């Protein structure tokens, strides 16, 4: 089975799962967190180096206050309950997004978790929180423009690499595979720059039902894909190691 170096997931369908079970939406999110816990463990065991989860989008701030509060509460509980696992299994936590917008207690728990796991080397777990890709791109452009204005960066020296290093995902390789659950077939403002050559996998399964078998199916499908990065199949076969990234 092909193991992607970097797997990114848009975890969708908690609300519909709850509705299907005649439960409040927050029950769907609670089950969603259980799926997160098991998928993190599975990815770590499979040797996936980077796992990035879209946990809360910039647009999610617009949801009813009660649901936003519940999601923040679940995030805080998740961070507390996962700390031992992350430390025991060598998982480093990172966050991308406008995390300053998060409630102060959550921001501090996150900050502490990122710091305490900074030395871990087995897997990088990145949570996208208060994240929107357009916002990330705008912030990167602004940061580069400020450096140009300050005279420490020449405008014509800005290339793909410089730009990528100004993004929240600096030092994280681009995703090899993106999974989106719940049957929606869109990117929803997630990692717009980074997904340029990523294989996309969509499944009807709702996130709370996404288990190890579902993960295996996605990885099997990924193994069947031929990644060409804009080159021809013959070039790929002949130049295996020179594929641009
Ligand atoms: C989509 O379901 C999911 C979210 C908005 C957030 C995902 C959050 C979790 C899995 C829980 C918190 C995460 C962590 C890492 C602790 P939806 O509500 O959009 O579902 P719907 O489209 O069926 O309404």
- Judged against a pLDDT cut of 60, whether residue 240 lies above it is answered with no
Q: What is the token pair recorded at 127?
A: 């949570």
Ligand 1 centre to CA of 31 (Å) is 10
List pLDDT tens digits, range 162-186: 999 999 999 999 999 999 999 999 9
- What percent of the chain is predicted at pLDDT more than 90? 92
pTM of the model as a whole: 0.95
Ligand 1, pocket-test mutation among 17, 29, 67, most atoms within 8 A of CB: 29
Tell me the pLDDT band of 68, cut-offs 50, 70 and 90.
very high
Task: Determine which one of 14, 20, 60, 212 is catalytic.
Answer: 60
Pocket of ligand 1 (CB under 6 A): 11-16, 29, 32-33, 36, 53, 55-56, 60, 71, 74-75, 78, 127, 182, 207
Domain residue spans in the chain? 6-238
In this structure, the residue with its CA closest to atom 18 of ligand 1 is: 15
What is the rounded CA–CA span in Å between residue 189 and residue 199? Answer: 16
Q: What is the spatial order of strands in the sheet that 199-202 belongs to?
A: 91-96, 123-131, 50-57, 6-10, 177-180, 199-202
Per mean pLDDT, which range of 3-7, 38-42, 204-208, 229-233 is the poorest?
Answer: 229-233
Torsion angle defined by CA atoms of residues 5, 8, 13 and 15, in that order, rounded to the nearest 10 degrees = 120
Q: Mean pLDDT score of the chain, rounded to an integer?
A: 96
- Cβ pair 81, 35 in contact under 8 A: no
In this structure, the residue with its CA closest to atom 10 of ligand 1 is: 32
- Cβ pair 135, 61 in contact under 8 A: no
pLDDT at 204: 98
Question: For this structure, is 12 an active site residue?
Answer: yes
Ligand 1 centre to CA of 77 (Å) is 15
- Judged against a pLDDT cut of 80, whether residue 243 lies above it is answered with no
Q: Exposed/middle/buried for 185, CB within 10 Å: 0-12, 13-18, 19+? A: exposed
H helices within the chain, ranges in order? 14-20, 25-46, 65-88, 104-116, 133-149, 160-165, 212-224, 233-238
239 three-state secondary structure: coil
Write the CATH number of the domain with boundaries 6-238.
3.40.1180.10
Q: Atom of ligand 1 at shortest distance to CA of 19?
A: 23
pLDDT at 238: 81
Ligand 1, pocket-test mutation among 15, 39, 85, most atoms within 8 A of CB: 15
Ligand 1 centre to CA of 34 (Å) is 12
């Amino acid at each position: 089975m092909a193991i992607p170096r970097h797997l990114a997931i848009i975890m969708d369908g908690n609300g519909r799962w709850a509705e299907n079970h005649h439960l409040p939406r927050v029950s769907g999110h609670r089950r969603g967190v259980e799926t997160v816990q098991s998928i993190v463990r599975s990815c770590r065991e499979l040797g996936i180096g980077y796992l990035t989860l879209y946990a809360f989008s910039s647009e999610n701030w617009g949801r009813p206050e009660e649901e936003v509060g519940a999601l923040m509460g679940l995030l805080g509980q998740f961070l507390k309950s996962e700390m031992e696992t992350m430390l025991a299994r060598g998982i480093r936590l990172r966050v991308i997004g406008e995390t300053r917008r998060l409630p102060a207690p959550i921001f501090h728990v996150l900050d502490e978790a990122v710091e305490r796991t900074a030395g871990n080397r087995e897997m990088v777990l990145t949570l996208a929180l208060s994240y929107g890709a357009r916002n990330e791109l705008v912030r990167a452009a602004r940061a580069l423009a400020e450096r140009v204005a300050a005279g420490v960066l020449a405008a014509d020296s800005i290339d793909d690499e410089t730009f990528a290093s100004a993004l929240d995902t600096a030092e994280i390789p681009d995703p090899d595979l993106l999974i989106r659950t719940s049957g929606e077939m869109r990117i929803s403002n997630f990692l717009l720059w980074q997904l340029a050559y990523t294989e996309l996998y969509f499944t009807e399964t709702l996130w709370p039902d996404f288990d190890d078998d579902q993960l295996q199916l996605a990885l099997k499908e990924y193994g069947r894909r031929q990644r060409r990065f804009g080159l021809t199949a013959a070039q790929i076969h002949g130049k295996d190691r020179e594929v641009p990234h």
